[in-house]
Amino acid sequence: MQRLKFGAFVAPYHKAGTNPTAALQRDLRTIEYMDEYGFDEVFIGEHHSSGGEWIASPEIFIAAAAERTKRIMLGTGVTSISYHNPLWVADRMIQLDHQTRGRVILGMGPGSLPSDSAMIGLNPTDTRELLEQNVDIITRLVRGETVNAETRTHKLIDAELQFAPFTPGGFEMTVAGVASPTGARLAGKYGIGLMSIGATLTKDGFDALAHHWNVVEERAEEFGQTVSRSSWRLVGPFHLAETEEQARKDVEHGIEHWFEYFQQVAAFPQMAVDGSNLKEMIDFIKQAGIGVIGTPDQAREQIQRLIEQSNGGFGSILNMHTDWANPEATRRSYELMAQEVMPHFQGQVEPLMKAEGKARAAREKLAQQQVDAVEHMTKKYEAELAEKQKR
């Protein structure tokens, strides 16, 4: 079976009014133990307003996380490239590619919060139009081209990167898709990955999974690109505990604040969540099929549903990291994911179960052989003693 990758999408979200210094350190510790548990990748968001999503520079955060980890891949999730000079986006990622020895991924998007872009005089239509222009510029620069281009916000004159990527052929790139086909179209056109943030977080997203990848393949064929489902990432929320009852109790810690943020604060209607009280909110996650608040068994069932719904599979499942539960319960959730969910989709369970089954079937016979061996050696020793006594 194809090895499914596991990771997290760390926007991050924190309750407005709590200590940002402490929260950022918690986020870094989360990535440290994800690295210890064997998770494959983590993506860090970029936001500048609304009081709930606090990382302004995923690149700075990644530089800190890289020094604390050994193997986990570190991606921007995403760099809002419509806000930036595309030359400097590419240049900073080249630097990170070297600093991390090839452990970075550039995730790109237009920017999800209109309250961010409004502060620099852009609206959501502007940022989506700039997205494709800047994806084109960045991919060309990373290929080593000299670029002359002019967008609404920047002008490039004989622009080029002054040193090559550490990763042969350039670091991996992916583009975000929420509700519209924009991300899927760009992924296909430029032969880069797709991160379906709307895979489970929009009411229509779950049913659109197969269509998302169809768009990627159609555009790839049109533009002569090669794409692989292994570069398709799905994002959805998971909180796991030993029992569903415990998981539901855990998320009472903070799920109301998360719902209120998307219902009342962030102008991001694609993140459609329903519920006016704690029970309705927790029930909504399960009933709408957008995530799991429950057990490892339920997480495995959800991932299998997504695989079937995608009509061919995908490369990675990313947990939408939240403060639904307290830090200790959150860490336990990741530990359960690593222990009891990941192996089922990474080819690790079947060989172990086969070995156990083989040993179980032969146990009675082999146990008797052990008894017979002990009896044989005992009799042999007794015979040796008897022989000595004769002398």
- 168 and 244 together in one domain: yes
Q: Average pLDDT for residues 294-303, to the nearest whole number?
A: 97
Total domains in the chain come to 2
Q: CA torsion 33→37→38→42, rounded to 10°?
A: -40
Residue 333: phi and psi, rounded to 5, are -60, -45
Question: What is the rounded CA–CA span in Å between residue 176 and residue 301?
Answer: 25
Question: What is the rounded CA–CA span in Å between residue 274 and residue 277?
Answer: 9
Most confident of 197-206, 233-242, 266-275, 283-292: 233-242
Q: Lowest mean pLDDT: which of 97-106, 175-184, 285-294? A: 175-184
Residue 245: name the closest of 294, 298, 284 by CA.
294
- 370 and 235 together in one domain: no
- 335 and 374 together in one domain: no
- 330 and 367 together in one domain: no
Residue 243: name the closest of 306, 329, 323, 349 by CA.
329
- 318 and 388 together in one domain: no
Q: Lowest mean pLDDT: which of 74-83, 241-250, 347-356? A: 347-356
- 333 and 361 together in one domain: no
Tell whether the model's pLDDT for residue 120 goes beyond 60: yes
78: CB partners within 8 A, 6+ apart: 43, 45, 46, 58, 107, 108, 109, 175, 176, 195
- 322 and 184 together in one domain: yes
Question: What is the rounded CA–CA span in Å between residue 348 and residue 361?
Answer: 21
- 303 and 166 together in one domain: yes
| Contact call for residues 169 and 163 (beta carbons, < 8 A) | no
More confident residue, 265 or 105: 105
Model confidence at 177, pLDDT cuts 50, 70, 90, reads confident
- 226 and 354 together in one domain: no
Q: Is the peptide bond before 58 cis (omega within 30 degrees of 0)?
A: no
Instruction: Note down the domain range covering 380.
Output: 349-391
Q: Lowest mean pLDDT: which of 203-217, 301-315, 361-375? A: 203-217
User: What is the overall mean pLDDT for the chain?
Assistant: 93
The model's pLDDT over 33-92, given as tens digits with 9 standing for 90+, comes to 999 999 999 999 999 999 999 999 999 999 999 999 999 999 999 999 999 999 999 999
Query: What's the predicted TM-score (pTM) here?
Result: 0.93
Tell whether the model's pLDDT for residue 188 goes beyond 90: yes
Model confidence at 205, pLDDT cuts 50, 70, 90, reads very low
- 255 and 388 together in one domain: no
Give the per-residue pLDDT at 197. 86
DSSP 322-385: --SS-HHHHHHHHHHIIIIIGGGGTT-HHHHHHHHHHHHHHHHHHHHHHHHHHHHHHHHHHHHH
- 323 and 382 together in one domain: no
- 289 and 322 together in one domain: yes
Residue 75's domain is classified under what CATH number? 3.20.20.30
pLDDT over 90 percentage in the chain: 84
| Contact call for residues 178 and 262 (beta carbons, < 8 A) | no
Token pair for 153: 């916000």
Q: How far apart are the first and last CA of the chain?
A: 67
pLDDT over 70 percentage in the chain: 96
Token pair for 250: 């855990």
